[in-house]
Amino acid sequence: MVLHNRVSAAELKKRLLMETIKRVTISFYQYAKIQDPQAFRDQLYESLFKLDVFGRIYVANEGINAQISVPEHNFEAFRDALYAIDFLNGIRLNIAVDDDGKSFFVLKIKVRDKIVADGISDPTFDMANRGKYVDAKGFNALTDDPDTVIVDMRNHYEYEVGHFDGAIEIPSDTFRDQLPMAVDMLKDQKDKNIIMYCTGGIRCEKASAYMLHHGFKNVFHLEGGIIEYTNKARQQELPIKFKGKNFVFDDRLGERISEDIISQCHQCGEPCDTHTNCLNDGCHLLFIQCESCAQKYDGCCSDACKDVYALPEEERAELRKGVDKGLMFNKSRRKRLK
C-alpha cells in the first residue's frame, strides 16, 4: 500500500464537492511518548485511509495532534480504531461547532520534531507538570473572580475575530514567541488565577506547563479549548462568554460561536470577520475581507495582486518563479497590509 496521496489537489477538491455522504470534523491531541514516530505514522495512515478519513495529523516523540474529517457512517469504526491504540484509548474528540463537512479533502500525516513548535530547549521542562483542567462551568465561575487573568494563547489573527470577554492577547504570530512573552507580561501577577485557552486545548496545555515551569502557582487551562467549551456550554445551557468566531486551520477558516462581529474588513474597515486567502498564488496572504471588497479586488488583498491575478496563468506562473517564498502564506496583516 502507498502510504501517501498521489492524486492532485484540484481533483481531490472536485471529488469532495461531489460527495453525497455526510462528514464530521474532529480534532484531538495527546501528549505521550512515541518511541518510533515514523512506524506509528505509517500504521495510522493505513488504518485511517481505509476509513476514508481526510485531514492533517502531526506525529512526534511527544505525541499526536490531529484535525480530521470522518464520514459519519465510519465514525464508530474510526473511534474503535483510535481507542485500540493504548495511549489514545478514551481520548476526548472535539467535534466541530459549525461544520459543513468540507474542512479537508486529503489525508496527510507528517512526522515532526514536535506536535506544537514551542522553541523550548530547556531539558528540565516537563509536560507532566501542567496546569489544572477547567471545564465550561468551572471556566465561567473562575472568570467571574476579579483575581483571574484570562490568557489567549492563539495568534493575533485568531484573537482578532473572536475571543473570551476580558481575555488578554499575547501579540505574536507564533506560539514559540508567545510563551516567553506571556511569562514577561504576567510576571507581576504570579499569585493570581491564570486561565489559558486556545482552539482545541493543545497549545494552552503546553503553555500552562511552561508557566508553572517559570514559577506561576495557580495555572489552569481550558479543557478541549474553545471547541469543547462551546459544545458543553450549549449542552448545559450555560452563558457563553466567547464572542465572535473561532478561527480554525482548515478550509472553513472559522466557525461561528456568537453573532457578534468584533473585527473589521482589512481593506475598507467595515464590520467583518470573514478570513480569506489572497487569490494571487504569489501572495496568498490571509486577511479579513468583506463581500464588497471581495468583488472590488477580485478576492485579492490589493490592486497589485488583483492585476497579477488577472493575467493569464502562464504569465502568473512565470512571475511566481521570482517570488520570495518566505513571503508566501504570510498570515500577518501587520507586515503585509499597510
Please write down the HEC assignment for all residues of 212-256: HHCCCCEEEEECCHHHHHHHHHHHCCCCCCEEEEECCCCCCCCEE
The pLDDT value given to residue 16: 72
- Which of 198, 265, 272, 301 is flagged as catalytic? 198
pLDDT, mean over the chain: 90
Q: What is the pLDDT of residues 230-252, one digit of tens each?
A: 999 999 999 999 999 999 888 88
Among the listed residues 36, 84, 29, 32, the one whose alpha carbon sits nearest the alpha carbon of residue 55: 29
What pLDDT shows up at residue 2? 55
Q: Could you tell me which CATH number the domain at 9-111 has?
A: 3.30.70.100
Rg (alpha carbons) of the chain, rounded to whole number: 21
- Distance between CA atoms of 326 and 286, rounded to whole angstroms? 14
Alpha-carbon gap, residue 241 to 115, rounded angstroms:
29
Query: How far is 134 from 312, CA to CA, in rounded Å?
Result: 54
What pLDDT digit, counting tens, does each position of 105-138 carry?
899 999 999 999 999 999 999 998 999 999 999 9
- Asked whether the predicted pLDDT for residue 222 surpasses 70, the reply is yes
Does the pLDDT at position 195 exceed 50? yes
Q: Evaluate if residue 101 carries a pLDDT over 90.
A: no
198 is catalytic: yes
**What topology is assigned to 132-236 in CATH?**
Oxidized Rhodanese; domain 1 (3.40.250)
Q: Could you give the residue range(s) of every CATH 3.30.70.100 domain in the chain?
A: 9-111
Under 8 Å between Cβ of 75 and 47: no
Task: Name which of 227, 213, 241 is nearest 97 in CA terms.
Answer: 227
200 has a pLDDT exceeding 70: yes
pLDDT band at 12; cut points 50, 70, 90: low
Residues 284-289 have a mean pLDDT of: 94
Ranges for all domains in the chain classified under CATH 3.40.250.10:
132-236
Is the pLDDT confidence value at 326 over 60?
A: no
DSSP 124: T
Q: Give the pLDDT band (50/70/90) at residue 329.
A: very low
pLDDT at 99 over 60: yes
pLDDT value of position 322: 60
Model pTM?
0.82
